[in-house]
Amino acid sequence: MILVTGAAGFIGSNFVLDWLAQSDEPVVNLDALTYAGNLENLASLEGDTRHIFIKGSIDDFDLVAKLLAEYQPRAIINFAAESHVDRSIHGPEDFIQTNIVGTFHLLEAVRAYWNGLEDEAKASFRFLHVSTDEVYGSLTKEDPAFAETNRYEPNSPYSASKAASDHLVRAYHHTYGLPVLTTNCSNNYGPYHFPEKLIPLVIHNALAGKPLPIYGDGQQIRDWLYVKDHCSAIRCVLEAGKLGETYNIGGWNEKPNLDVVHTLCAILDQLSPRADKQPYKTQITYVKDRPGHDRRYAIDASKIERELGWKPAETFETGIQKTVQWYLDNQSWVNNVTSGAYQSWVGKQYCAEL
């Protein structure tokens, strides 16, 4: 049995689906079902006794302690987090509460549980904390990619809160001996991605005939990682990672945001042409850059390849094609998650003119 927190969100739900496609080991899914948590992501598991869903927060010490005592998991994978820079700029408090205080309460519950295990179970237990490359700050075009030895220089409330959670996890290993692993990933994309992030937002807006908002000059560079590759890397780290170590997970796919949008437009021109035959790139609209926008992120993923033998299976070209096709094939899912409050958030974030 494993416990996966935040497993109704984008990466967490993909992880659970992949896990149960390859293993009969049951999963306890703890998710607070905030706006980005969606049980529809896991609809294919309905009635599957290997998947046990519990609605709740990692910030609830008593609930987590109860679940640990009841289900006795051999490992915990912590995806639970507030995870969007834009939202952290408008409302940082939720990020502090979930990512820092929530991680602290989770660690305290896990520490008490782990201390009570028998020797063999205690030795084999793992706590894997999923984090982000944004904790390292921003790079220039000339800088080498982020390695695990880079110092932390977070620049947004989101990345600062994740950096704090990473430090807590490290401290619980060095102070209490808790058997932890940490992963820092680059920008994920793929199925079930809530359309507040660049790729699903552009696909959604393009098909709806709406502007495709580009921050600033669109030359912010990100490394792109297909979500199923991320999931396979986490399984690899969980199985063979060295205790107390950090592993950077990247796709070796650095792209400026504007290039990503042009690629999406070109794929949509092929797979779902506009009725007027005009290219989707005509919908591109430049908006004011967000405050403190980091210029470049890049992941050096050589350590996980060298030590654990993992490398991504997808190129950006193959992964993005699969992603666009998934959104075209799952418009009902998109429609369900983009109703109500989502509409007012997009208007607020990207200016009323959009």
Q: Which residues are catalytically annotated?
A: 133-134, 158
Residue at token pair 């689906």: 17
* Cα–Cα distances in angstroms (integers) from residue 180 to residues 110, 122, 184, in the given order: 11, 12, 14
For residue 336, the surrounding DSSP H or E stretch is helix 331-337
Residue at token pair 């350590």: 303
Sign of torsion over alpha carbons 188, 192, 198, 203: positive
> Which segments within the chain are labelled E, that is strand?
2-5, 27-31, 51-55, 75-78, 126-132, 180-185, 187-189, 212-215, 221-226, 246-249, 254-256, 284-287
Say how far apart CA 100 and CA 184 lie, in whole Å.
16
Say how far apart CA 161 and CA 103 lie, in whole Å.
10
φ, ψ of residue 80 to 5 degrees: the values are -60, 120
